[in-house]
């Protein structure tokens, strides 16, 4: 059983994220990175990842019959063309796509080239943190299932939208990796990524910070 996590807290703002500098205090290093930068814009804690409009990838090479990914995502607009947002890597990739409408769409592709897809009913909210989770499953009956869960309240337990689709064909090879991707007309931000080879991951609880002391409280403390 593997659970990989990365919160980007070990980086330096405005520095390109690479496979080499993405580990350490940030968490589990990515195996492949492009188009991502450590950013202080919209972080959930101190740092997050800015995903370049021209294209970005954050990928872990993780094998299994089930792979799941969690990302917190902040987007400012919808793409001009549909693209793969979260990808389950195999010889024949499956994906969760972000459509021009802002809706999420699941694609399941088996080894015979059979494709099944269905689209959700709620657009990803703009200009706020949301949580998106995806799960890719290779079933015992040579089936491939792709599913997503959208959480408009990013740390909620109840989904805002969810869809799953299955296709069945020739023997389906296991997954070899899972990736978050971005390709749009504007940058996006991601934080607190996690990947599992077991099941859905759920939210990350942030540490509760104490409120700042008032000026009066600081003045009283200075006299003690």
Rounded Cα–Cα distance for residues 170 and 14 (Å)? 46
Rounded Cα–Cα distance for residues 59 and 86 (Å)? 10
pLDDT computed for residue 142 by the predictor:
79
pLDDT computed for residue 170 by the predictor:
63
pLDDT computed for residue 182 by the predictor:
98
pLDDT computed for residue 110 by the predictor:
82
Report the candidate in 25, 20, 26, 24 with the shortest Cα–Cα distance to residue 190: 26
CATH 2.102.10.10 fits 3-222, yes or no: no
Q: Which residues of 56-76 are buried (b: 16+ CB within 10 A; e: fewer)?
A: bbbbbebebebbbbbbbbbbe
169 and 91 Cβ atoms separated by less than 8 Å: no
- CA–chain centroid gap for 137, Å, is 17
DSSP category for residue 17: P
Report the candidate in 92, 96, 143 with the shortest Cα–Cα distance to residue 119: 96
Rounded Cα–Cα distance for residues 20 and 157 (Å)? 34
Rounded Cα–Cα distance for residues 102 and 88 (Å)? 20
Rounded Cα–Cα distance for residues 165 and 122 (Å)? 17
The ranges of the chain with pLDDT < 70 are 1, 141, 170-172, 206-224
Beta-ladder partners of 144: 138, 167
pLDDT computed for residue 216 by the predictor:
46
pLDDT computed for residue 219 by the predictor:
41
Rounded Cα–Cα distance for residues 106 and 119 (Å)? 6
Query: pLDDT for 76-130, tens place per residue?
Result: 999 999 999 999 999 889 999 999 999 999 999 888 888 899 999 999 999 999 9
DSSP conformation letters of 192-224? EEEEESSS---PPPPPPPPPPPPHHHHHHHHT-
């Amino acid at each position: 059983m593997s659970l990989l996590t990365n919160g980007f807290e070990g980086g330096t703002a405005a520095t390109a994220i690479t496979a080499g500098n993405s580990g350490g205090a940030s968490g589990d290093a990515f195996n492949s990175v492009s188009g991502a930068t450590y950013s202080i814009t919209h972080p959930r804690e101190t740092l997050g990842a800015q995903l370049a409009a021209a294209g970005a990838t954050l990928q872990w090479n993780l094998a299994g019959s089930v792979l799941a990914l969690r990302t917190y995502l902040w987007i400012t607009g919808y793409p001009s063309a549909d693209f793969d947002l979260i990808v389950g890597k195999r010889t024949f990739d499956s994906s969760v796509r972000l459509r021009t409408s802002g809706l999420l769409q699941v694609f399941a592709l088996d080894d015979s080239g059979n494709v099944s897809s269905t689209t959700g009913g709620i657009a990803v909210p703009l200009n706020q943190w949301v949580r998106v989770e995806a799960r890719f499953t290779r079933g015992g009956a040579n089936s491939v299932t792709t599913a997503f869960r959208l959480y408009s309240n990013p740390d909620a337990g109840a989904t805002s939208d969810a869809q799953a689709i299955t296709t069945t064909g020739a023997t389906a090879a296991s997954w070899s990796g899972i990736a978050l991707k971005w390709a749009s007309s504007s940058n996006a931000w991601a934080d607190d990524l996690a990947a599992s080879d077991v099941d859905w991951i759920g939210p990350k609880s942030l540490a509760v910070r104490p409120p700042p002391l008032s000026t009066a409280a600081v003045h009283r403390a200075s006299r003690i």
